[in-house]
Amino acid sequence: MAKDVVMPRLSDSMEEGTILNWLKSPGDTVEQGDELVEIETDKANMVYEADAGGTLIEVVAEEGATLPIGEVIARIGEPGEAPSGDGAAAEPREPEAASEPAESPAAETERAEAPQEAAAPAEAPPQPAPAGDGRVKASPLARRIAQQRGLDLAAMAGSGPGGRIVKADVERAAAAPAAPTPEPGAAPAAPTPGAAERPETAKGGTSYEELTKLQSTVARRMAESKATAPHFYLSVEVDMSRAVEARGRLKAAAAEGEPVPSFNDMVVKASAIALREHPRANGAYRDGRLELYSRINVGVAVAARDTLVVPTVFDADRKGLRDIATEARALAERVREGTITPPELSGGTFTVSNLGMFGISSFAAVINPPQAAILAVGAIAETPVVRDGEIVVGNVMPMTLACDHRILYGADGARFVDRIRKLLEEPLGLAL
């Protein structure tokens, strides 16, 4: 008896998923634990492993389809069982037209004597069905591929349900020969009179891009944060001169291939120590009460493709600088490769966001709800500073702490960020 494979819950906040790539085809043998399908969730792209063995007899959800948790996406039958049809989702059949009543002899005579109608024009190729808002119906994967290859979805015929454009349609259009280009010297088409005056054409052509699950989640959470969490900001400047010297010594002493802690790794470690000393900053506001966490898990914002991802360094207060450096680099690499897993993106109690590598001097970040605060870190710059009564050149790094006023008050936040500053200015304390 065939077993249904349903859209799995791959993260705690997942409500629906998008089929990105089937790793097995109808008729293939599937063992329990085999990689079956790649699914885009609200946190990452994940590969789902089959929980039963047999033969993949039917793929119900095509690539690019978005389905809620629990919906059937495929069926696995007994070993050796033949696939049903071509394995694709069955298309709804068009209802047959009602039979016409028989014509009377008089009607037949009149029709025979009537002049013949002109031949009907050739049937036009199918056009993609527009969505309710006037946009062309296409799967997110199809839109992404079309954008990458510079293809116009409006010029394609959709073969999916309801005329929806799917991945195969885009690949077919990409493989088709390009339309002949006009000969040099040919006069361009005259613009429509008054086109420049119409508001809908003043901005030129308009294209649309569907948000991925992760982008939608980031947009929703950031909007909720600004709308519900009363932000206030505390800015300090950190003299990183001794930290620069300490990192230079660490780099000189590092063996070949051994990771050298970055300044951001130092910020993560300093934040973790300060969080241990200021537990309210390591909490959250939920349902009218405070949650204080025993573990200190620092999220590190990483710029991924077209979005922002925050993997977590767990128990950062208990780890040395080199351990944090090794783990942070591995997490960032998995983010960029798209192999990061939901558990690695969960459990954060505080976040560090660093844009210094882009030359940003300072900025204010949006709190990652329901956390109490987020630390925004700018670029280190050589700046005159007063040291022992003399003006010398120092390496100054700006930091801005965004606080949720429901958890942290001004004095609480000030003491917390000042502790981070002191730890960075005397980096020997980071070895604790």
Measured CA to CA in angstroms, residue 225 lies from 110, 230, 234, 369, 400 at distances of: 75, 8, 18, 6, 17
Closest CA to 267 of 240, 294, 293: 240
Q: Which residue do the tokens 């500053």 mark?
A: 421
- At residue 205's C-alpha, the angle toward residues 202 and 209, to 5°, is 125
- In the chain, the amino acid numbered 182 is P
Q: DSSP class of residue 233?
A: E
Which one of the listed residues 135, 334, 405, 415 is annotated catalytic?
A: 405
- Quote the CA–CA distance of 89 and 357 in Å, as a whole number: 48
**Number of residues that this document lists for the chain:** 432
Q: Which residue do the tokens 């925050």 mark?
A: 310
- The question of whether 278 is a catalytic residue gets the answer no
288 — alpha (psi -120 to 50), left (phi > 0) or beta?
left
Residue 423 · residue 385 · CB < 8 Å: no
- Quote the CA–CA distance of 209 and 18 in Å, as a whole number: 16
Name the token pair of 86: 């071509």
The residues annotated as belonging to the active site are 405
